[in-house]
Structure 1
Amino acid sequence: MAKQNELIVPLLPLRGLLVYPTMVLHLDVGRERSVQALEKAMVDDHLIFLTTQKDVSIDEPAEEDLYKLGTLTKVKQMLKLPNGTIRVLVEGLNRAEVVSFYDEEDYYSVSIVTYEDPDTKDVEDQALMRTMLDYFEQYIKLSKKVSAETYATVADIEEPGRMADIIASHLPIKLKEKQEILELVDIKQRVNRVIDTIHNEKEVLNLEKKIGQRVKRSMERTQKEYYLREQMKAIQKELGDKEGKTGEIADLKKKIEEAGMPEHVKNAATRELDRYEKVPASSAESAVIRNYIDWLISLPWSKKTEDDIDILRAEKILNEEHFGLEKVKERVLEYLAVQKLTNSIKGPILCLAGPPGVGKTSLARSIATSLNRNFVRVSLGGVRDESEIRGHRRTYVGAMPGRIIQGMKKAGTINPVFLLDEIDKMSSDFRGDPSSAMLEVLDPEQNHNFSDHYIEETYDLSKVMFIATANNLSTVPGPLLDRMEIITIEGYTEIEKVHICRDHLLPRQIKENGLSKGVLQIRDEAILKVIRYYTREAGVRSLERQMATICRKTAKIIVAGEKKRVIITEKNVEEFLGKPRFHYGMAEAEDQVGVATGLAYTTVGGDTLQIEVSLSPGKGKLVLTGKLGDVMKESAQAAFSYIRSKANELGIDENFHEKYDIHIHVPEGAVPKDGPSAGITMATALVSALTGKPIRREVGMTGEITLRGRVLPIGGLKEKSLSAHRAGLKTVIIPKDNVKDIDDIPESVRNDLEFVPVAHVDEVLKRALLEGEVR
């Protein structure tokens, strides 16, 4: 660009505005110094220098507040407006640069040098002009803010520098960028800069267009949904349909708010409700989501019953509903006492272990009543699938929560008494091990964050009092057993069964069969006969069935008009129940050689066991019969070996094993028998047979024997003592280590029996054998 001579002209600062050469522009001037500068220009040659302020907020700019490069313009017209400002029409002439700055009191003047674009243009200039014009055309099509006439005007320009200035003036770019284009004196640089700027603006416009289209589509969809919903509301309102999805959503929101959920569960429920609202009702997913929300709402998250901790009342309830079971009742009362003192305790996990029919389930229900808690029972018998405990994931068809969560829903509170019935009947297969899933449920350190696959959100089980029941603890895995407090219920004694039948079973059956107390009366000796000869069990289920039979037959007699009142005695029991089905061991009528009375413990209680020994000529062969188990056979071998080693001291021929074959038989060969507690009984019977000394008929015995003759402790002393008492025995020989168990035996039985603690077989023989001739 050609440089011209210096000029001194007035200065007019511009705010937020820039004038390019060749531009014609109207300006409103109001500042005093600017007005004076205009008047000076009009007096002289109408020339004035326009430059832009760097900061538009400054009212009185100084030299450093103005750009050095601006535009030399010519004032075409000036008009004073009524408000005091001056409207002026200016035409840009050339680019100009400030050389010196002068303060003339009323206005500023500057010494400037001007620059003119050369007239010549080469091929590159023409190519650049074409590119710039083409870009500008594309920009106009996208922008639609620049008229087609503007494009026609620009297209007619032949000078590249002038074209760049005109195009730059129409671009919506920042003032600073326009100033940078103005300061480009070199034409090629200026044109390239304008091309880049147009290109950038095109990209921005394309992006704006895409965003606009996307927003428009989204708005259209949202508006459509809103319109359809409003239509649906209107239709439902006209039809009076208040059960539509809108009302349903509002109802579910209210239930979620009232459910007392933890915050994370509430957030999950709200999320699912939003999904449910958007999913069409005809969709299969809609039913799945609704079912899930219903489960979250119906579960107890914070609702609980207040424990009514009254030890005396609880003890009264337990005693009224259950006879015996002192250890279990004592443990429950201990729990209540601790909870009353601490006011916060993790729910204990009790396991009631014992044979069927002893009242494990009904006891758990009584515990709930004494605690004033809700009761829920879940049967685990036959459960083989882990998902039965933890639930199925919602991705499966027909998914449901596990039995634990289902039980909590049924309970309705977070602190029920939860009965896990038949925990020993769980098994495992390819679908997983449910007992492993139960570990989390029954671990007080983990169950406050129990995770069900269906619910997904953690659930607090720490306030639940779990009670498990089992018939056989040997089938319960060790880790699961370790988490429970085992309370063994061995079974009921005959005395306890009589009380239970008289106070509980019989009144219930009389009521269920439509009778009254005055119509049917069963005496205690009749109940005892039913227990002994018509049932064989540790519990009382068979006994209740027999009572039901008597009640039905009584009802028939009453309805037929044969009698108005029926009394059942020991003599007429057979008329109602038929011939006795069972018998029990009784003491021998006289003292016998080789016949000893042992005491046995079975799953249905205690019983007496007659052990017979016979000798026959032979070579010491030992024969064992009576369907004996391996342990019992080993006890017989141990007794035989001990007698051989002590034959001389016992007054037995040392070579007896070379002269006799010995046969040991335990009657009732169809009934399996096993256990080590018949050891001293077999030893006594063997010594009696080999010495010819009779055994006292009123003596019963139990204890394990060693090869050295020591007597080891046994289990089930209470049941064995009851069977001895029932059989009419007077003396019971027991291991010395079992003396501590005598306290568990009912007082009435203890008073009728003499207990002889022994530590060695020699002591047994002294009490059991009578003096007689040695063979």
Structure 2
Amino acid sequence: MEDQGEFIPIIADGDESDFKSVEVPESLPILPLRNAVLFPGVVMPITVGRQKSLKLIRDVYAGDKLLGTVTQKDGKVEEPQTEDLFPVGTMAEILKILEMPDGTTSIIIQGKRRIKVAGITEQLPYMKALVHPYDEHELDNEDSEFGVVIESLKDLSLKLMKYTGNVPPEAQFAIKNIESPTFLINFICNNVELETHEKQELLEENDIRSRGNQLMGFLVREVQVMELKKDIQRKVKVDLDQQQREYLLNQQIKTIQDELGGNPIEKEIEELKKRGAEMKWNEEMAGFFNKEVEKLNRMNPAAGEYSIQVGYLETLLDLPWNAYTEDNFDLQHAEKVLDDDHYGLEKVKERILEHLAVLKLKGDMKSPILCLYGPPGVGKTSLGKSIARSLGRKYIRMSLGGLHDEAEIRGHRKTYIGAMPGRIIQNLKKAGSANPVFILDEIDKVSQDFHGDPASALLEVLDPEQNSEFHDNYLDVDFDLSRVMFIATANTLSTIQPALRDRMELIDVSGYLVEEKTEIAKRHLVPRQLKNHGMAKGSLTFPKEVLVRIIENYTRESGVRALDKQLAKVARRVARKIAFGEKYNKKLKVEDVKEYLGVPIYTRETYEGNEFAGVVTGLAWTAVGGEILYVETSLSKGKGRFTLTGNLGEVMKESATIALEYLRSHAPDLGLTSQSFEKWDVHVHVPEGAIPKDGPSAGITMATSLASAFTQRKVKRNLAMTGEITLRGKVLPVGGIKEKILAAKRAGIKEIIISRQNEKDLEEIKPIYIKGLKFHFVETVMDVLEIALLKQKVNSPLRIR
């Protein structure tokens, strides 16, 4: 293809007679032109691309440098024939051949004389044709009307060039200074932007006057079109604001990016669509996602909402929609994993195995919501990991301690700046599975303030009937949580919202016996501490008596967290000896414990005997397990004043008052008179006054202490008790029985008095916990006194009547 390109033709010097005197050979090689028409007198660069044309110009340039240029009727034809060419063309001379840096070849040719093609004589190696001159009619220089036409052509062409704005000043200068009318008309014909067939009509026109008039008509049309465009632009012109300016700049960037290999915005949207097509969601969710993608496609990438929408779609794609891990239904494997990881906790393990058994039989079921509650350090949180490992599920732990913002659970609306999903959805995205084991740690420590009530937000999460359609504010679509196995942990149930507590299956994880702690230390804690301190297995052993000494004298807890810290302390001391090359006992001895851990922190709770009247041993529950406490009553001459000390809470004070009033009303049954209570001031004290104490379970203990003080009868040895009393003397049941029994065993207690209604609680306690203990089940305070008070009186100077 040969085309004019972006070049402005220039006029040749010389008179018209110089071109008419050029002889036209009978035959000329023909160079077909696409979308360009060459006029006589005009010098014009042409880019040559076809192989035939390249050979033609090189052969011609090596000879007489003359060729014929003829325009194709259809510029798309690659191998033009006679019928594909206009009949009139221009004989031209090749002035120069240029080899361009980009590998193309250009020639500069000058139009010499119009020719008419008589017939094609050759096609190979390039086209040749018989031609003859095609001259204009003689021009009458005295024609004044034609002179006006020439001036009008100059004015119109200059105006058109001004409108287009892409014509160099040299062309305008040439138009103003060309004297030859024929050259001027030819120059303007070649220079203005006209259709190819219009230029060809001008070339074929023999009468130069007619050609000038015809050209004027074309120029007037073009000028009118340009003026109309300018008028329309002037009417609708508005000042571009910053957003429009940015839009235009972005469009330019888009064009540049397309040239460099594609628009990253479009690629991003295509990638989102591709990922969406691979997701496992249902038709409704797929339709929703595609709608959101189309919304993104319509957004301006420079707008702030664009990045928000991209983040939202990526969150939807990252969530595990209907992506489930396969549960391992090997119950023997599950039981082994649970036993290997945790010693004891039989009730919890039994519940997990029951759940697995149902899953295995049914194939599918909504996961229950379990709540493990008990003192710190007993393995509630780590139990979740074992459950996940036994099921073959992913494990997620989410701490709720101090959580006070409802948005932490449900997320924020995506319209807010910095919005994100709630922590439930975030953790599921991180796990990559829609059925993990999800630990909600410290659910009893969720707080409430002006940000909302997170505990109420958890109601939907922890309700198996509702969580199949959990609604996160950020997602704004329902997500199925029904196959997530939620396990909550708590230290106490009293601070959990009742509605929330009702949705969970409560499992009591109570404290450990000394024997259990010893086994846990041997199986888990000691090996872990040796590994953590870079010590080889067997480089340090803890005999049972050493572990018992550490447990009893350096820890006071239901769990094993403090024990773990003490073992770590021993390991550090030994590691230092090894590093310094000092000698140490690989098998620890009891006397080594004091060297490594210092003076014992605690003394073992022991029974203190019954040499004093009014001193009774009670049992109490604390957050770290069971404790024994002593209630002491002393009498002094006075007017019946009643004093309570020992940092007691309101409920405990009320228990003391009820106990005293019961004894007043039943004085004859104890061998007392009503005056006995009016002559003596009563002082009840519970030792360890720095520790707050509250609750009703010391009721029978206080009643026994008061009765012993007034009757001066001894209290039975090695006896402890717990139970609430009423004004009628009824003994009511209390909680924390297992922890209280453990505390009694640690203190060397042999007999325990509890309410008959607590007898059922013993059935759920393993026999090892109650071995060696004798239980008395009572219904009234008089039953308690009959068991607890001996006939023998203490040696006392008090004579109470």
Partner of 1:578: 598
- The 3-state SS of whatever aligns with 1:307 is coil
Q: Are 2:385 and 1:365 equivalent residues in the alignment?
A: yes
Superposed, 1:140-219 pairs within 5 Å as: none
Describe the shift of the 1:231–1:693 C-alpha distance in structure 2 as closer, same or farther (beyond 3 A): closer
Q: Give the one of 561, 568, 571 matched to 1:548.
A: 568
Post-superposition Cα deviations, 1:727-762, rounded to whole Å, max 9, x if no partner, equal 112222222222222234443442211112222333
Q: Which amino acid aligns with 1:733?
A: I
Partner of 2:613: 593
Q: Give the one of 741, 749, 755 matched to 1:735.
A: 755
Paired with 2:263 and 2:610, the residues of 1 have a C-alpha distance of 87
Q: Are 2:714 and 1:690 equivalent residues in the alignment?
A: no
Post-superposition Cα deviations, 1:648-701, rounded to whole Å, max 9, x if no partner, equal 221234421122112111111111112222222222222222222222221122
Paired with 1:246 and 1:466, the residues of 2 have a C-alpha distance of 41
Partner of 2:660: 640
Paired with 1:447 and 1:590, the residues of 2 have a C-alpha distance of 58
Partner of 2:463: 443
Partner of 1:663: 683
Paired with 1:656 and 1:531, the residues of 2 have a C-alpha distance of 47
Q: Are 2:509 and 1:492 equivalent residues in the alignment?
A: no
Q: Give the one of 706, 718, 723 matched to 2:738.
A: 718
Partner of 1:708: 728
Which range moves more in the overlay, 430-439 or 538-547? 430-439
Describe the shift of the 1:249–1:344 C-alpha distance in structure 2 as closer, same or farther (beyond 3 A): same
Structure 2 stretches of 5 or more lacking a match? 1-247
Post-superposition Cα deviations, 1:570-605, rounded to whole Å, max 9, x if no partner, equal 333221112222334311245432211112221111
Describe the shift of the 1:692–1:513 C-alpha distance in structure 2 as closer, same or farther (beyond 3 A): same
Q: Report deviation, 1:641.
A: 1.6
Paired with 2:645 and 2:748, the residues of 1 have a C-alpha distance of 26
Query: Is contact 1:534-1:581 (8 Å) kept?
Result: yes
Paired with 2:682 and 2:490, the residues of 1 have a C-alpha distance of 42
Paired with 1:748 and 1:454, the residues of 2 have a C-alpha distance of 52
Partner of 1:478: 498
- The 3-state SS of whatever aligns with 1:588 is coil
Partner of 1:264: 284
Q: Give the one of 524, 527, 537 matched to 2:547.
A: 527
Q: Are 2:407 and 1:383 equivalent residues in the alignment?
A: no
Q: Give the one of 394, 418, 432 matched to 1:398.
A: 418
- The 3-state SS of whatever aligns with 2:691 is coil
Superposed, 1:257-656 pairs within 5 Å as: 257-277=277-297, 279=299, 281-563=301-583, 565-589=585-609, 591-656=611-676
Aligned residues: 550
Q: TM-score, normalised by structure 1?
A: 0.67
Describe the shift of the 1:442–1:325 C-alpha distance in structure 2 as closer, same or farther (beyond 3 A): same
- The 3-state SS of whatever aligns with 1:474 is coil
Partner of 1:750: 770
Paired with 2:605 and 2:265, the residues of 1 have a C-alpha distance of 74
- The 3-state SS of whatever aligns with 1:673 is coil
Query: Is contact 2:405-2:451 (8 Å) kept?
Result: yes
Paired with 2:489 and 2:466, the residues of 1 have a C-alpha distance of 21
Query: Is contact 2:254-2:263 (8 Å) kept?
Result: no
Partner of 2:271: 251
Superposed, 1:28-177 pairs within 5 Å as: none
Partner of 1:674: 694
Q: Give the one of 230, 235, 241 matched to 2:259.
A: 235
Q: Report deviation, 1:301.
A: 0.7
Q: Report deviation, 1:234.
A: 5.2
Q: Which amino acid aligns with 2:551?
A: I
How much is the aligned-residue C-alpha RMSD, in angstroms? 2.7
Query: Is contact 1:704-1:714 (8 Å) kept?
Result: yes
Q: TM-score, normalised by structure 2?
A: 0.65
Paired with 2:590 and 2:779, the residues of 1 have a C-alpha distance of 42
Paired with 1:767 and 1:529, the residues of 2 have a C-alpha distance of 34
Q: Report deviation, 1:499.
A: 2.0
Query: Is contact 1:236-1:244 (8 Å) kept?
Result: no
Describe the shift of the 1:477–1:546 C-alpha distance in structure 2 as closer, same or farther (beyond 3 A): same
Paired with 1:558 and 1:550, the residues of 2 have a C-alpha distance of 12
Query: Is contact 2:574-2:584 (8 Å) kept?
Result: no
Describe the shift of the 1:231–1:645 C-alpha distance in structure 2 as closer, same or farther (beyond 3 A): closer
Which range moves more in the overlay, 565-574 or 371-380? 565-574
Paired with 1:352 and 1:265, the residues of 2 have a C-alpha distance of 36
- The 3-state SS of whatever aligns with 1:554 is helix
Query: Is contact 1:525-1:570 (8 Å) kept?
Result: yes
- The 3-state SS of whatever aligns with 2:658 is helix
Paired with 1:551 and 1:608, the residues of 2 have a C-alpha distance of 32
Paired with 2:686 and 2:249, the residues of 1 have a C-alpha distance of 88
Q: Report deviation, 1:629.
A: 1.4
Q: Report deviation, 1:511.
A: 0.7
- The 3-state SS of whatever aligns with 2:408 is helix
Describe the shift of the 1:308–1:286 C-alpha distance in structure 2 as closer, same or farther (beyond 3 A): same
Q: Report deviation, 1:290.
A: 1.9
- The 3-state SS of whatever aligns with 2:387 is helix
Query: Is contact 2:257-2:263 (8 Å) kept?
Result: no
Query: Is contact 2:731-2:755 (8 Å) kept?
Result: yes
Describe the shift of the 1:587–1:428 C-alpha distance in structure 2 as closer, same or farther (beyond 3 A): closer
Q: Which amino acid aligns with 2:622?
A: T
Paired with 2:456 and 2:762, the residues of 1 have a C-alpha distance of 39
Q: Which amino acid aligns with 2:589?
A: T
Q: Which amino acid aligns with 1:712?
A: L
Q: Report deviation, 1:227.
A: 11
Paired with 2:559 and 2:336, the residues of 1 have a C-alpha distance of 22
- The 3-state SS of whatever aligns with 2:717 is coil
Paired with 1:712 and 1:463, the residues of 2 have a C-alpha distance of 41
Q: Report deviation, 1:228.
A: 7.8
- The 3-state SS of whatever aligns with 1:572 is helix
Paired with 2:653 and 2:610, the residues of 1 have a C-alpha distance of 28
Paired with 1:425 and 1:676, the residues of 2 have a C-alpha distance of 24
Q: Which amino acid aligns with 2:385?
A: R
Q: Report deviation, 1:409.
A: 0.4
Query: Is contact 2:756-2:777 (8 Å) kept?
Result: yes
Paired with 2:528 and 2:355, the residues of 1 have a C-alpha distance of 31
Describe the shift of the 1:627–1:233 C-alpha distance in structure 2 as closer, same or farther (beyond 3 A): closer
Q: Which amino acid aligns with 2:398?
A: V
Paired with 2:784 and 2:372, the residues of 1 have a C-alpha distance of 36
Q: Report deviation, 1:282.
A: 4.3
Q: Report deviation, 1:720.
A: 1.4
Which range moves more in the overlay, 376-385 or 716-725? 376-385
Q: Report deviation, 1:377.
A: 1.6
- The 3-state SS of whatever aligns with 2:393 is coil
- The 3-state SS of whatever aligns with 1:670 is coil
Q: Which amino acid aligns with 1:713?
A: P
